[in-house]
């Protein structure tokens, strides 16, 4: 008989949030690996899709990514020809999806939306609104 193990933090809301978030992120990573994208890259692509001509600094503020960490990510997306930079003035560039990038992001967006819907559909219907309300409070 196996020794009993105690998990003293099993009921900590923070711990359970982290487990749930990790599970969601892992599933998303798997989905995105078919597009050869990481989660951070996919979020950035969705942001550019929704906000054409946005600045790198706007992405950083919206997604809470520090500017020094954004530079290499955008360089990769530019190298893989999903995104291009269009000079606005001497120091800033508007970011756009390329002709290759736009349809790929559209397809990826649809799959991400379906995946996120599945997360919520794991819950019985009567828990969905309360769960969203709770997350709204805890995430703000």
Partner DNA sequence: TATTGTTATACTCTATAACTATA
Partner DNA sequence: TATAGTTATAGAGTATAACAATA
The listed partner (DNA, a second copy, none) that binds 91, CB under 5 to 8 Å by sort, is DNA
Would you say 12 or 123 has its CB closer to DNA? Answer: 12
- Counting contacts by CB under 8 A, is residue 107 touching a second copy? no
- Counting contacts by CB under 7 A, is residue 74 touching DNA? yes
Supply the angle between the helices 56-63 and 39-50 in degrees, to the nearest 10: 120
Tell me the C-alpha distance between 45 and 35, whole Å: 12
Tell me the C-alpha distance between 57 and 63, whole Å: 10
- Counting contacts by CB under 8 A, is residue 21 touching a second copy? yes
Q: Measuring CA to CA, how many Å separate 6 from each of 12, 14, 83?
A: 14, 18, 49
Contacts of 133 (CB under 8 A, 6+ apart): none
The listed partner (DNA, a second copy, none) that binds 28, CB under 5 to 8 Å by sort, is a second copy
* Residues lying near a second copy in the complex (CB under 8 A): 5-9, 11-25, 27-28, 43, 46-47, 49-51, 54, 58, 62, 109, 112-113, 115-116, 119-120, 122-123, 126-127, 130-139
């Amino acid at each position: 008989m196996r020794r009993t193990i105690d998990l003293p933090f099993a009921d900590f809301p923070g711990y359970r949030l982290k487990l749930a978030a990790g599970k969601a992120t892992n599933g998303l990573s798997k989905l995105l690996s078919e597009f050869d994208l990481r989660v951070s890259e996919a979020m950035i692509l969705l942001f550019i899709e929704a906000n054409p001509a946005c600045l790198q600094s706007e992405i950083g503020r919206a997604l809470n990514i520090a500017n020094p960490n954004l530079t290499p990510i955008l360089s990769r997306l530019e190298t893989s020809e999903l995104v291009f930079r269009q000079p606005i003035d001497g120091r800033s560039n508007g970011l756009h999806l390329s002709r290759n990038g736009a349809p790929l992001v559209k397809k990826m967006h649809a799959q991400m939306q379906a995946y996120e819907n599945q997360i919520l559909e794991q819950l019985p219907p009567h828990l969905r609104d309360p769960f969203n309300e709770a997350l709204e409070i805890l995430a703000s």
